[in-house]
Structure 1
Amino acid sequence: MADFFPPDGNKGAGKRGAEKSGRVADFRYRPPSRPDECKDGGKSRHGGDSLAPAGPASAQSQRTFQPGGKRQAYAALDLGTNNCRLLIARPSGEDFTVIDAFSRVVRLGEGLALSGRLGDAAMERTLAALHVCADKLRRRNVHLARSVATEACRRAENGEAFIERVRRETGIALDIISAEEEARLAVLGCHVLLDGGEGPAVIFDIGGGSTELVLIEPGDRVPHILDWQSVPWGVVSLTDMVDRGENDPVQRAARYAEMRRVVSESFADFARRIADYRCDLSRIRLLGTSGTVTTLASLHLELPHYDRRAVDGLVVPSQSMREISTRLSRMSFDERGELPCIGPDRADLVVAGCAILESILDIWPAHRLGVADRGIREGILRSLMAADAQSERRLSRLRGGA
């Protein structure tokens, strides 16, 4: 469980709507710097948050401990622009076993692209979901947890105020993570599903308010991150920003073309930087983690309803995903809403996801696309378990030398 990417501790949101990217040599795991903040029976714990009020700003969290040793529960909560997701798990060998999960569409970022603020209705929907999460955390006696918020709270003028309200009303201490940390957690959570090979790969996460792309190469235990970029276009922000022309095929085609243009311009710098890595198209690999890719994979399989077991880890021809994207972009809202695995909840957002996906395939034209129904939450869980295991090993060595 060692050698995992660490959180970077950078909560800065940057300028609203700004793109973020940077060359990075490696994101290997480093132990947290405060190993003795909380103790239980002489055992030091660190990282994460609990239902208790937040501690120092550098940790944004406190811990709760239950007796019972290494089989205790860990939790990861990811509050995105569109969804609120919780995963609770116990270690199982080098992996973990999920014991509880929760996911709800909250559309926290609805209208954010135009107003710059989180709306009242969106915040109420989100708080209702977070109350459910808080109840699950209490009932499962979670030992160590981390709760993060992403692009919607990074960009919103009232994002910090909403985080404080969440802490007061639910006890959950959300940490607004940087785009850089969001990218590395997504990689950590899903890189094991990369298609076999030794060539460079791009892992991407199409969110509600942003999209992260990470260029990696194989490493000893985890991949080395060579470059990354985050752009402020996800399925919610792009849908809100581009005029919703849906009345006839001509309007739908124009709207989709505008989405493609906006996203492609945002990806342009990253595309230039990674151009040399895609010289041999037979070696490059691509893996996506998002509702967009899992939805399109379900349509590729012609599933009557969503089945995670059939989709997570699936590898599909990229051309098939392009064809499905084009077909969806030409349909009306009602036609998309009638399709299995889309429905009315996703019918308006899936077109933006298709535009982002096709733009990614333009700059990284891998022949096949890997599909992951996992990401940030799994990355958080692995980080928490790795940190805890390393702390236990360090204390064991210290006791042995005493």
Structure 2
Amino acid sequence: MRRRVAAVDCGTNSIRLLIADIDPERTVLTDIAREMRIVRLGEGVDRTGRLSQAALGRTIGALREYAELIGQASPVAVRMVATSATRDAENAQEFTGRVKEVLGVAPEVVTGDEEARLSFTGATRELSGTPAPYLVTDIGGGSTEFVLGGPEGVSGARSVNIGCVRMTERHLHGDPPAHAEIAAATADIDSALDLVAVSIPAGEARTLVGLAGSVTTVGGIALGLQRYDSERIHHSRVPAARVHEIATALLGQTRAERAAIGVMHPGRVDVIGAGALVLDRIMIRFGFAEVLVSEHDILDGIAWSLVL
């Protein structure tokens, strides 16, 4: 029997809404509404340890729009998950209180491991005929999650702090970034991937599934799209050599040049170079020949969690 649910994912860079009808018996999720706003909730958190008032204002403003859409759709259940930036912030309670006032439910500030498991569910629930085990990697704004598993479930997970916003704020300051800045970001990413390798046998995976805006933007560029097309991007495959080529090009471009790319969301212009670099280093470190790009991620996993 189909159930209508609403899921909200609030990350470091964006806040997203999915209202969907889910049929658990047929394993089918049907979108009613899917929205995304770039709010940069985590702006400056790596440096200050706090959510800024400007970032809170942008996020709550977007959430008011979502609350109106949720009210119109009348779902049977609503769940909001907050991830990396909120975990790291000293004033997370202020954010939680303001969200509850607007949405009627408090956000769940999940651990990195739970974030990873939700991403895995969203990315793999509808996969069929794709060789397992899968390594699902979700490149967020503050952190990147890795989950290894297959149709039988998750066998390992690890979250590391190498998101696209965090890497940009730490290292990539030039326009375009200097070689030394890129080298520092690369070293930071590679050190985190060493931790992943110790935690889970990522090299055992037969399929790399890449999630979130950095990966889908790289997918759109690889397809040569003039505008963002989620249907064409979803489940496209990008060879490792093409990922490396795109990452290198993005890191060598000015902000204006990146902004002119047809598939580029304005809110990703500043951080896409770091996100593409993270994906490139993952593929090099674990020897993947290609990445399967998925438009279904933690947001879909949150929705599925309401019916499973």
- TM-score range relative to shorter protein: over 0.9
Q: How large is the RMSD of aligned CA atoms in angstroms?
A: 1.9
Greater shift in the superposed pair: 291-300 or 83-92:
83-92
Asked whether the 8 Å contact 1:212–1:228 carries over to 2, the reply is yes
Cα separation, 2, equivalents of 1:339 and 1:185: 31
Q: Identify the residue that residue 175 of structure 2 maps to in structure 1.
A: 246
5+ residue gaps in structure 2?
none
What is the DSSP-based 3-state SS (H/G/I as helix, E as strand, rest coil) of the residue aligned with 1:73?
strand
5+ residue gaps in structure 1?
1-69, 387-402
Asked whether the 8 Å contact 1:336–1:347 carries over to 2, the reply is yes
Q: Identify the residue that residue 189 of structure 2 maps to in structure 1.
A: 263
Q: Identify the residue that residue 84 of structure 1 maps to in structure 2.
A: 15
Asked whether the 8 Å contact 2:167–2:185 carries over to 1, the reply is yes
Matched residues, number? 305
- Opposite residue 270 of structure 1, the aligned amino acid is V
What is the DSSP-based 3-state SS (H/G/I as helix, E as strand, rest coil) of the residue aligned with 2:306?
helix
Cα separation, 2, equivalents of 1:77 and 1:319: 34
Asked whether the 8 Å contact 2:50–2:89 carries over to 1, the reply is yes
Cα separation, 2, equivalents of 1:329 and 1:91: 40
1:202 counterpart (135, 144, 151)? 135
CA deviation after TM superposition for structure 1 residue 381, in Å: 1.6
For 1:84-233, what aligned pairs fall within 5 Å after superposition?
Answer: 84-92=15-23, 93-191=26-124, 192-193=126-127, 196-198=130-132, 200-216=133-149, 218=150, 222-233=151-162
Asked whether the 8 Å contact 1:110–1:122 carries over to 2, the reply is yes
- TM-score after normalising by structure 1: 0.72
What is the DSSP-based 3-state SS (H/G/I as helix, E as strand, rest coil) of the residue aligned with 2:242?
helix
Q: 1:104 to 1:212 in 2, by over 3 A?
A: same
What is the DSSP-based 3-state SS (H/G/I as helix, E as strand, rest coil) of the residue aligned with 1:345?
helix
What is the DSSP-based 3-state SS (H/G/I as helix, E as strand, rest coil) of the residue aligned with 1:369?
strand
- TM-score after normalising by structure 2: 0.93
For 1:1-400, what aligned pairs fall within 5 Å after superposition?
Answer: 70-92=1-23, 93-191=26-124, 192-193=126-127, 196-198=130-132, 200-216=133-149, 218=150, 222-246=151-175, 251-274=177-200, 278=203, 284-342=206-264, 344-386=266-308
CA deviation after TM superposition for structure 1 residue 273, in Å: 4.9
Q: 1:157 to 1:301 in 2, by over 3 A?
A: same
- Opposite residue 197 of structure 1, the aligned amino acid is P
Cα separation, 2, equivalents of 1:204 and 1:326: 20
CA deviation after TM superposition for structure 1 residue 284, in Å: 2.6
Asked whether the 8 Å contact 1:147–1:174 carries over to 2, the reply is yes
What is the DSSP-based 3-state SS (H/G/I as helix, E as strand, rest coil) of the residue aligned with 2:307?
helix
Cα separation, 1, equivalents of 2:97 and 2:84: 17
CA deviation after TM superposition for structure 1 residue 169, in Å: 3.9
- Opposite residue 233 of structure 1, the aligned amino acid is I
What is the DSSP-based 3-state SS (H/G/I as helix, E as strand, rest coil) of the residue aligned with 1:287?
strand
Asked whether the 8 Å contact 2:22–2:304 carries over to 1, the reply is no
CA deviation after TM superposition for structure 1 residue 241, in Å: 1.4
Cα separation, 2, equivalents of 1:273 and 1:86: 31
What is the DSSP-based 3-state SS (H/G/I as helix, E as strand, rest coil) of the residue aligned with 2:178?
helix
